[in-house]
Structure 1
Amino acid sequence: MQGDTTDELEAVLEYETIAVVGCSSTAGKAAHDVPRYLLERGYDVIPVNPYAEEIFGRHVYDGLGDVEESIDVVCVFRPSEEVSEIVDAALERDDVEVIWTQQGIRDDAAAARAEDDGRTVVQDRCMKVEHRRLAA
């Protein structure tokens, strides 16, 4: 299902655990500021970045397959050409309900694979912007 309607986006924002692939330790970058915003609003943010050990005082996982906690949403802060591989990793997990690619990031073929597998997909939207618009 494409998560494009207001109702669908509101439903996605109800989930609690968000694995952020490409989460950055550098303040001022969207890949740091957006997950921090979500964390500050009560979401359980799980950083995924093979080049960092700790972000927001939390352990950082190298990849989605390494995450021990249950994941509701995979939020992607990586270039569009990396989305297919990330979606494949998400589809290997039974717990991921939603794959969300941030503004400027999309892969329609990978999104179709995820939707065919019963996952909700939101592409090319900022989670912080949508949260502010719908939940704040």
Structure 2
Amino acid sequence: MFENPSHDEICALLKKSNRIAVVGLSPNVSRPSFGVAKAMQGFGYTIVPVRPKVSEVLGQKAYATLAEVPGSIDIVDVFRAAEHIDAIVEECIALKIPAIWIQDGIINEPAAERARDAGMVVVMDRCIYRDFVGICV
């Protein structure tokens, strides 16, 4: 059975991270992905939008895939349905990304376990913004 890291481990991850690639970041201001990413950007994180067919979101160049993102990524924050998590985890493993955050309401335990077995920090079914504000600030 999958268990998230402790609150202390989550805070340590968020405090040491700077660059968050947001998979499924919508340019629509009414979507949760936009609000969460904008808030995290306001807290000083560099947000990298990963969404095909969009040129930019929140003033940042968007990329169609994680593999296209130049430079390092500290956390991949995922706003995609559970059936898409497997492919995203495989891409994260291939790119040696250290952490994946699967947003509130999205659960794919086999994919989360594969990511963890590959050495990634995995947070699932939690909101990165709520955790940052609620347990780390």
Fold match (TM-score > 0.5): yes
Q: Is the aligned partner of 1:102 residue 2:103?
A: yes
Q: Per the alignment, in what secondary structure is the counterpart of residue 13 of structure 1? A: helix
Write the letter of the residue equivalent to 1:23: L
Question: Which consecutive residues of structure 1, in runs of 5 or more, have no partner in the other structure?
Answer: none
1:118 alignment partner in structure 2: 119
The CA deviation string for residues 34-61 of structure 1, in whole angstroms up to 9 with x for no partner, is 0000001000110000021111111100
The 3-state SS of whatever aligns with 1:51 is: coil
- The question of 1:135 aligning with 2:136 is answered yes
AA aligned to 1:52 is V
Query: What CA RMSD, in Å, does the superposition of the two structures yield over aligned residues?
Result: 1.3
Cα shift at 1:2: 5.0
- TM-score, reference length from structure 2: 0.94
Q: Which residue identity is paired with 1:7? A: D
1:6-85 paired onto structure 2 within 5 Å? 6-14=7-15, 15-85=17-87
Q: TM-score scaled to structure 1, two decimals?
A: 0.95
Q: Matched residue of 2:76: which SS? A: strand
Matched-pair identity in %: 35
Partners of 2:135 and 2:14 in 1: CA distance = 9
> Which residues of structure 2 form unaligned runs of 5+?
none
Aligned pairs, how many? 135
Distance of aligned partners of 1:28 and 1:67 in 2 relative to their CA distance in 1, 3 Å threshold: same
